[in-house]
Each structure stands twice: as C-alpha cells, then as structure tokens.
Amino acid sequence: MKFRLIFILTLITIKIYALTPEEVAEKAYLANINTLLIFTSESGLSSGNYVFTESGFKMKTYSLPFRYDLVPVDKRLRLFINGAVGYSITRLVTQTTTKSATTNEDIVLTHDNKLQTYTGGLGLGLGYQSDLGIDFLGSIGVIYSRVGTSIQPKDEVGEAIKDFFDDEYNDNITYRFYLAAEYEKKIEDFRTYAKVDLKLYETKADFTLDALSGFDTQSNVAGLSFGFETPSLLKHEEDFLSLEGYVKFNYLSGDITDVVQFEKYIHIGSVAYWNTPELPFWAKRFYMEVSTVRAEGLEGYNVGIGFSIDY
C-alpha cells in the first residue's frame, strides 16, 4: 500500500530528507490526511472548494459537524459532545515523460491523481465561564477516516498503469485536541467577541492497538478571531433575524506546512441567523454561512447551512 502511495503523494512538493521511500510515503500520506481534516469546515452542513496554488492540488469538501451542550454541571461548568462526518476529494493533475519503445520519441502522460476521504469523529469537551467573562473550552476527540487513492490516465497510453493504482483504500485514526478562550461584550445591543483557539492533530495510518499509544503532534493550527452579531433586524412574532460578520487569522505548523506550502491564511465570513426562541422546541436558531479563505498559495470558499440545538 505504501509503495503505491509514493507515486501520488510525493508529486506534491515536500521537503523531506534522509528518509527511506517507505517513510517518505507515510509522512506525505499522513500530512495530507491532516490537511484534509483541518480544512474541513466546522460550521454546519457545508461544501468547500480550495485551490492550493503553490502545491498545485485542488480540494473539495463536504461536511456535517455537530455540537451538543449537555445539561450544565453548574452555572459555570458545562459538558458538551462534538463531532463530524465528512467526505472530500483531493486532486492533482500531473504529467510525466517517457520514451516510446518503438520510435524512441518522448511521450507525455497526463494523470488525474485523486484521494477520496470519508471521515467520522466524536469528542467530549468541557466549558468553563470565568469571573472575567471569558469562556474557556477544551475537548479531545478521535476521528476515523478511510482514504481511497486512484490515478485516472487522460490518454490511452496511460491505461497500462490504471489498474495498478486504482481504488486503493487505507484506514486511519486521528487524535484531535482543541483549546479555546472567548470573550464577549455587548456594545449598543451588538454582541462583539474575540477568540483564540488551538487545534492539534495526530494521524496514525495503522488502525491497531500499537498505533494508539506513543504519539506526538504532527499538524496544528492556531487561530485568532474577531466578530460581531447584530441585534434583531427583522421580526416575525417571536422569531427574528440577526447577522454576524467575522475575520479569523490562522497559523499553521507541523507537517501540514510541507504540503500546503504556506504557514498562515485568513478566513472571512458572514452568517445569517433566523432565531427561534419558542418553536421548534429542539432548535435555538437556523443559519446560513458564506466564507472565503485566502493566503499566498490558497484560494477557497465555504457555503454552509445548519442549526443550533436547544436543550
């Protein structure tokens, strides 16, 4: 399996030295999985498209994250569960040159290299409201992913290698650690907030007991967010409309930077909320979110819909 991944994954520019071919393939593979997980939206039912211009690959993601606040332990302390299911496709179109056995002329082969990833995760978190009005959050979770690799030649000559690479699958487990601190303040009926967070990802390609112990962090992302939410703009009986705008600065470190070829990016978005304090009883509000991400080496956007669960 690892040798078959070498051809696809090492086509992305990765700065790795003094490693065996097996180690190169595994490092590239795990870094790609972490990249997929980090760039999956964490809002609602969403679809995202990303173009990594420096590395030359494209990514499309579909995800359904969720979070449910359990009954508070007390006024300050609360437990919550979170997780997500998702699907993503990563593509890299490459060209290789070979010699014709009959004419000895150069033949250019074009290939559509593809990773298909299915994910599902679950975590447990704890929230604490301090005397200073700062909301502290922390969670730990496990994400299971199944990845299929394939090469689809775009010319007849390339059909000779299609069967060798097509539809290979591998199972993975990822540990995800999350820490955040958020401060909110009302300013003339506007809810304003500032937030810092840190996510750490560690992926193991072997789904065995040995792979569950003795791990260290491979990729992480730190974020700094600023945003505001308006008061009621449009009301119908007890329901009302409010809007949110935000900007988030993200900083990457670990193996992921070798894959995407940048260390920071900006995330700008807006959200429209339809708040439902009375009915239905199971939802606080519904929302639609549109956002874009930008960096020197990244262009992308997300569109999502979802709802906040009441309890």
* Phi-psi sector, 131: left (phi>0), alpha (psi -120 to 50), beta: alpha
Give the model's pLDDT for residue 209: 61
Residue 144 has pLDDT above 80, yes or no: yes
Residue 162 has pLDDT above 50, yes or no: no
Instruction: Record the pTM.
Output: 0.77
Tokens of 60: 């499309």
CB 90 within 8 A of CB 62: no
The DSSP secondary-structure symbol of 310 reads P
Lowest-confidence range among 88-97, 192-201, 293-302?
88-97
Average pLDDT over residues 151-173: 52
- The DSSP-derived string for 26-75 is HHHHHHHHHHHHHTS--SSEEEEEEEETTTTEEEEEEEEEEEEEPPPSSS
What is the overall mean pLDDT for the chain? Answer: 77
DSSP reduced 3-state for 167: coil
CB-count exposure of residue 129 (10 Å: 0-12, 13-18, 19+): middle
CB 32 within 8 A of CB 90: yes
Give the model's pLDDT for residue 278: 86
Q: For the chain, give the percent of residues with pLDDT over 70.
A: 71
Give the model's pLDDT for residue 17: 46
Tokens of 107: 């033949």
Give the model's pLDDT for residue 27: 64
Average pLDDT over residues 248-259: 87
Residues contacting residue 77 through CB under 8 Å, at least 6 positions apart: 126, 127, 128, 129
Residue 23 has pLDDT above 50, yes or no: yes
Q: Beta partners for 47?
A: 62, 303
Lowest-confidence range among 27-41, 119-133, 249-263?
27-41
CATH numbers and ranges of domains, the chain: 2-309 (2.40.128.130)
Residue 98 has pLDDT above 70, yes or no: no
| Amino acid occupying residue 204 | K
- Nearest-angstrom CA–CA distance, 5 and 1: 6
For residue range 44-85, list pLDDT tens digits in order: 667 888 888 877 778 888 888 887 888 777 888 999 998 888
- Nearest-angstrom CA–CA distance, 93 and 19: 26
Average pLDDT over residues 191-196: 96
Residue 43 has pLDDT above 50, yes or no: yes
Lowest-confidence range among 5-9, 172-176, 240-244?
5-9
Tokens of 176: 């995800």
Residue 160, CB half-sphere, CA atoms under 13 Å: how many? 3
